[in-house]
Chain A
Amino acid sequence: MTGSDTLESRPRRDRHRGRTRPVPIPLLVPALVGLAFLLLPLIALLVRAPWRSLPEQLTSAEVWEALRLSLLCAMAATVLSLVVGVPLAWLLARTRFPGRGFVRALVTLPLVLPPVVGGVALLLAFGRNGVIGQWLDSWFGITLPFTTTGVVLAETFVAMPFLVISVEGTLRAADPRYEEAATTLGASRFTAFRRVTLPLIAPGVAAGAVLAWARALGEFGATITFAGNFPGRTQTMPLAVYLALQNDPAAAIALSLVLLAVSIAVLAALRDRWMTAS
Chain B
Amino acid sequence: MTRSAHRTRRILQVTGASAAALLTLSACSSSDPGTDAGSSSAKPSGTVTVFAAASLEESFKTLGKQFEQEHPGTKVTFNFGGSDTLAASITGGAPADVFAAASTKTMAIVTDRQDAAGTPATFVRNQLEIATLPGNPDRISSLKDLTRPGLKVVLCDKTVPCGTAAQKALDAGGLKLTPVSYEQDVKSALTKVELKEADAAIVYKTDVRAAGDKVEGVDFPESAEAVNDYPIAVLKNAPNPGTAKAFVALVRSAEGQKVLSRAGFLKP
User: Contact residues of A with B, CB < 8 Å?
Assistant: 12, 24-26, 29-30, 33, 123-124, 127-129, 145-146, 224-225, 227-231, 234, 242-243, 245-247, 249
Please state if B11 and A228 are interface contacts (CB–CB under 8 Å): no
* B22 → chain A closest CB, angstroms: 10
Question: In whole angstroms, how far apart are the Cα atoms of A30 and B181 in the complex?
Answer: 45
Query: Is B41 part of the contact surface with A, judged by Cβ < 8 Å?
Result: no
Question: In whole angstroms, how far apart are the Cα atoms of A258 and B247 in the complex?
Answer: 44
Given A230-B180, A230-B182, A245-B88, A123-B195 contact (CB < 8 Å)? yes
Please state if B152 and A246 are interface contacts (CB–CB under 8 Å): no
Given A229-B157, A246-B84, A246-B88, A26-B10 contact (CB < 8 Å)? yes
Query: Is B82 part of the contact surface with A, judged by Cβ < 8 Å?
Result: yes
* A137 → chain B closest CB, angstroms: 10
Question: In whole angstroms, how far apart are the Cα atoms of A128 and B85 in the complex?
Answer: 29
* A221 → chain B closest CB, angstroms: 11
The 4 closest A-B pairs by CB, nearest first: A228-B181, A246-B84, A129-B196, A146-B180
Q: Which residues on A sit within 8 Å (CB–CB) of B10?
A: 24-26
* B158 → chain A closest CB, angstroms: 9
* B239 → chain A closest CB, angstroms: 24
Q: Which residues on B sit within 8 Å (CB–CB) of A243?
A: 157, 159, 182, 184
Nearest residue (CB) in A for B196 is A129
Q: Which residues on B sit within 8 Å (CB–CB) of A129?
A: 195-197
* A96 → chain B closest CB, angstroms: 40
- Can you report 25 A-B residue pairs in the complex whose CB atoms are below 8 A from each other? A12-B3, A25-B11, A26-B10, A26-B13, A29-B14, A29-B18, A33-B18, A123-B197, A128-B196, A129-B195, A129-B197, A145-B197, A146-B180, A146-B197, A227-B181, A228-B181, A229-B181, A229-B184, A230-B182, A243-B157, A243-B182, A245-B88, A246-B82, A246-B160, A247-B84
Nearest residue (CB) in B for A246 is B84
Given A25-B11, A33-B18, A243-B159, A229-B182 contact (CB < 8 Å)? yes
Please state if B157 and A230 are interface contacts (CB–CB under 8 Å): no
Interface string of B74-92 (1 = CB under 8 A from A): 0000000010110110000
Q: Which residues on A sit within 8 Å (CB–CB) of B84?
A: 246-247
Query: Is B154 part of the contact surface with A, judged by Cβ < 8 Å?
Result: yes
Q: Which residues on A sit within 8 Å (CB–CB) of B180?
A: 145-146, 228, 230
Question: In whole angstroms, how far apart are the Cα atoms of A180 and B7 in the complex?
Answer: 55
Please state if B181 and A234 are interface contacts (CB–CB under 8 Å): yes
Query: Is B183 part of the contact surface with A, judged by Cβ < 8 Å?
Result: yes
